[in-house]
Amino acid sequence: MKVITLGEIMLRLSTPGFQRFVQASSFDVTFGGGEANVAVSLANYGFESYFVTKLPRHEIGQAAVNHLRRFGVSDRFIVRGGERVGIYFLETGASQRASKVIYDRAHAAVTTLAPEELDLDAVFEGARWFHWTGITAALGETVRRTLVAACEAARAAGATISCDLNYRKKLWTVEEARATMRPLMAYVDVCIANEEDADRSLGMKAEQTDIEGARLDEAGYFRLARRLKETFGFEVVAITLRESFSASLNGWSAVLHDDRDCKEPVRSQRYEIQIVDRVGGGDAFASGLIAGLLQKANSKEALEFAVAASCLKQTIPGDFNLVSREEVEKLAGGSGSGRVER
């Protein structure tokens, strides 16, 4: 099955271990970015996965392309041009010290990606799914025009369209996000969010919830899922639930509302995760949900696959969720002891 994602892939420079920025004398180098992370996971699950972006012709741009190829993602629709690859710096937190991210992504090549640079009919020919995030929508007017054109082409091709709201306060204000994202929801079939995304991007908030105090009200999330579905006409709404006890220990679960086979919202099983690297956890959930909705018997099974996949990602350094379908199925089926496999 052919799946398409569109967005930015960035150079990631992270401090070794749990060092602080001011301590580090070197950085670990890899690549990552919301939609690229989803494309890699879907390739791991056996899908025909394509990532659409724009990267410079120089060696760092080629390194990003090679990194995607390494994990089975097609570069057929990557446009070459522009001057630079965006960078983000990561300091991994521990215990009560939070992780920190510093962006250096201004004027990245993807921000100049225009609709006329893509053959969108070819991109979406035979595609079953198109995924994008609010991060891409925040990158500027040019790439927003491309995103709208891609949504229209995906709709014309009969592909399901999913959006992970992914609000980033370092990219735009709440007012800018709502003004842009609310109209774009007209294209979206499957909406993926957390409580902050739904509030900052769409102006809808879960009640009686304190994520930093690790206090969640399940009924409040059920009501939020219903309101989102009713307001924007989504077919499916998924909301991830993170209980942050510390940077090292999180509770992790999710809520799904898909009244095609569940008349009421449902909640997944809950995992308690000793965090190794939480970056990309939401993307791992999104890709797991896409895979599940395309291939599982019902939406509850799709939800459990997505939550298990994203649980595993948060135990792996780097942006990409380098797990197999079989490993996800095993965890979703109840095997989470972490015993050595021999």
Q: What angle do CA 204, 207, 229 make, to 5 degrees?
A: 40
288, 253, 321: which is closest to 3 by C-alpha?
A: 288
d(CA 35, CA 23): 31
Residue type, 53: T
Residue with tokens 């009924």: 219
- Helix and strand numbers, DSSP H then E, in the chain: 11, 15
Collect all residues with Cβ–Cβ distance below 8 Å to 297 and sequence separation of at least 6: none
Contact between residue 303 and residue 296 where contact means Cβ atoms under 8 Å apart: no
Closest by alpha carbon to 47, among 250, 216, 337, 293? Answer: 293
| Backbone torsions φ then ψ of 33, nearest 5 degrees | 165, 150
* Three-class secondary structure assignment of 19-84: CCCCCCCCCEEEEECHHHHHHHHHHHCCCEEEEECEECCCHHHHHHHHHHHHCCCECCCCEECCCC
Give me the catalytic one of 189, 199, 258, 283: 283
Catalytic site residue 283?
Answer: yes
Query: Which residues make beta-bridge pairs with 25?
Result: none
For residue 185, the tally of other CB atoms under 10 A from its CB is 17
CA distance 40 to 319: 10
Q: Give which of 214, 195, 140, 129 is closest to 163, Cα–Cα.
A: 129
Q: Which residues pair with 30 in a beta bridge?
A: 12
For the record, the structure tokens of 298 come out as 């019902």
Select from 113, 260, 126, 130 the least CA-distant residue to 188. 130
Positions annotated as catalytic residues are: 283
